[in-house]
Amino acid sequence: MGIFDKIKGEFIDIIEYLDDTSNTLVYKFNRHENEIKNGAKLTVRESQTAILINEGKLADVFAPGMYELSTNNLPILSTLQGWKYGFNSPFKVDVYFVNLKTFTGQKWGTKNPIPLRDSEFGVIRLRGFGSYSFRVSDVQKLLIQFVGTNSQFQIENFEDQLKAQVINEFTDALGELKIPALDLAANYKELGSKIEALLNTGFKELGLEIQKFLIENISMPPEVEAAIDKRSQMNVIGNLDQYTKYQAANAMENASKNPGEAGGMMGAGLGMGMGAGMAGMINQSFSGSNNAPAGAPPPIPQAISYFIAVGGQQSGPFGLDQLRAMITQNQFNRDTLVWKQGLPAWVKAGEVGDLSGLFGSVPPPLPPQ
C-alpha cells in the first residue's frame, strides 16, 4: 500500500447504512479509529434518521436525503466544537442510523394463566395470545434510554421488557372491562383497542409507538372447556332420561345381535330380554307415562268441562251433559263464547269440535203457537 492509499484510508468520505436485517432499530456507523473527512457525503435513506453524537451529546439530526458535511449543515456540532470560521481538518463524531419503519409481527402471550372473577363461572384462569406492531416515535429518547454505547441495537435487546408491559396492560384491561368469559371472543376488537391505547402511554416513555395491537385467542383451562362442551352436549340431547334409556336399548339390541360379544348364548338371551324390557320402557317414556309402573293401565281420562260467557260474565265450568241441557233451555247456543284449558282464547261454541255435535243431537225449539 502506497503512502497515498494509507492517508486516504484514515479518512471516511461516505457515510451510509444499508439495512439487511428485519429487527435492527439503531445502527452505529462503524468507523473504528478513522476520522470523518471534511465534506464527507452522508446518505440517509427513506425510513431512516441519522444522528451525530459528539462526546456523548446529541448533536445534529438528519432526515432522509444526501448531505455534504460542513459547518453549514452542522450547526450544533459546530457550536460544540467551537468552529467559528468553519473547519478544514477531519473530525471524530459518532453517527447513528435509526430505523423508522414499522416492525410488524411481534408476538406476545401470557406465560402463566391469569386468574379472574367471572360472572358465570366464578374464579377462572385465562391465557391470551396475539401480535402487535410498533415504530420509533422519538429518536432522541430511544437513544438516551436504550442505546448507550452499543454499536447495534435490535428488538431482542428489550423484547422481554416490551412483552412484560403488554401482559401487564392486557391483565388490567381484562379486569377493568369485566367481559364474561363466553363473550370475550365477540369483543376482541374492543379489548384490543383499549389495550393499544394503554400501551401507547407506556411505550411513549421509551420513544416508541404502538401501531396495531391484535388479540388472536383468549382461552380457558382445558377442564373448563371440557365442562362447557358437556353442557353444550346436554343442551343438544334435551331430555337426559329419555336419551339414557334410548342408548341403553341400543346397546342391548346390539348385544342380542352379537352373541359372542355378549358372553355366548346365555348373554344373547339375556340381551334380548333386557333389550325388550328397555324397549318397553322407552315406548312408555315417549308416550308420556314415565311415572306409571310397567303393565299398569293408562290413567282414566278427565271429564271435559267448559267455561261460558253469558252477558259479559264468566260462569262454569260445565260438563257436556250440563251444556246439552242448557241448549234445550235456550241458555246456550252456537254463538256462545266458551273456553277450556288448552285453548288460547275464547271461541264460539259452534267452532269447537267437542261441542258442535251437541247442537245436532238436540231438536230445535218448537215453533210458536
Query: What confidence score (pLDDT) does residue 9 get?
Result: 47
- For the four alpha carbons of 86, 91, 93 and 97, in that order, the dihedral sign comes to positive
pLDDT band at 37 (very low <50, low <70, confident <90, very high): confident
Tens digit of each residue's pLDDT (9 = 90 or more) over 260-310:
554 544 444 444 444 445 545 545 554 544 454 556 676 666 678 888 888
Query: What confidence score (pLDDT) does residue 36 get?
Result: 84
Q: Are strands 103-109 and 122-136 parallel, antiparallel or unpaired?
A: antiparallel
| 93 CB-contact burial (10 Å; exposed 0-12 / middle 13-18 / buried 19+) | buried
Across all residues in the chain, what is the average pLDDT?
Answer: 78
Query: What confidence score (pLDDT) does residue 282 get?
Result: 47
Tell me yes or no: is domain 305-361 CATH 3.30.1490.40.
yes
Query: What confidence score (pLDDT) does residue 218 get?
Result: 92
| 195 CB-contact burial (10 Å; exposed 0-12 / middle 13-18 / buried 19+) | buried
Distances, alpha carbon 222 to alpha carbons 175, 228, 288, in Å: 21, 10, 39
Residue 320 in this model has a pLDDT that exceeds 80:
yes
Distances, alpha carbon 308 to alpha carbons 207, 321, 365, in Å: 84, 14, 21
Which segments of the chain are extended strands (E)? 11-15, 24-28, 35-44, 48-54, 57-62, 65-68, 94-99, 103-109, 114-118, 122-136, 152-154, 208-219, 305-310, 313-319, 337-339, 347-348
Backbone phi, then psi, for 135, in 5-degree steps? -145, 165
**Radius of gyration over every alpha carbon of the chain, rounded to an integer in angstroms:** 44
Query: What confidence score (pLDDT) does residue 273 get?
Result: 47
Please tell me what DSSP assigns to residue 166.
H
- Per the document, the length of the chain is 369
The number of helix segments (H) and strand segments (E) in the chain equals 10, 16
**CA dihedral angle for residue 181, residue 183, residue 186, residue 190, rounded to 10 degrees:** -70
Judge contact between 126 and 218, C-beta under 8 A: yes
Distance (Å, whole) CA 244 – CA 52:
80
pLDDT band at 107 (very low <50, low <70, confident <90, very high): very high
Can you tell me whether residue 42 is helix, strand or coil? strand
Q: What residues does each domain of the chain span? A: 3-99, 103-221, 239-286, 305-361
Query: What confidence score (pLDDT) does residue 271 get?
Result: 46
Q: Which of 15-24, 112-121, 166-175, 291-300 has the lowest mean pLDDT?
A: 291-300
Query: What confidence score (pLDDT) does residue 225 get?
Result: 81
Q: 379489548: which residue's cell?
A: 191
Same fold, 103-221 and 305-361: no
Architecture of domain 103-221: 2-Layer Sandwich (3.30)
On whether the pTM is more than 0.85, the answer is no
Q: 432526515: which residue's cell?
A: 63
- Cα 199 from chain centroid (whole Å): 19
Distance (Å, whole) CA 188 – CA 181:
12
Which runs of consecutive H residues, i.e. helices, occur in 178-298?
188-204, 222-237, 240-257, 264-286
Q: 454499536: which residue's cell?
A: 151
pLDDT band at 141 (very low <50, low <70, confident <90, very high): confident
